Structure 1
């Protein structure tokens, strides 16, 4: 899709954009939410990291 938008000379296929938003934004939102939680709370792991 990036190539279509980058090299399409401003020709945007709205069907492609719609499919991308419907299929990919929820996954992106989940990843961003997990990253924000990790930043605020620290990463979640099964074991403790070594302390110095």
Structure 2
């Protein structure tokens, strides 16, 4: 293979790896946000029960 072809294939592999990492990060942020919402709702329910 030519050097230019190898460089192109390498660049494509690096780009795909980077995009994969971004996808994992976005998924993690979504899970963290969902956990935060659940914890806030649970705390709100505890406050309501304590007030009754």
TM range (shorter): 0.3 to 0.5
Q: Select the structure with the greater relative contact order (CA < 8 A; seq sep ≥ 6).
A: 1
The TM-score with structure 1 as length reference comes to: 0.40
Q: Say which structure is richer in helix.
A: 2
The TM-score with structure 2 as length reference comes to: 0.40
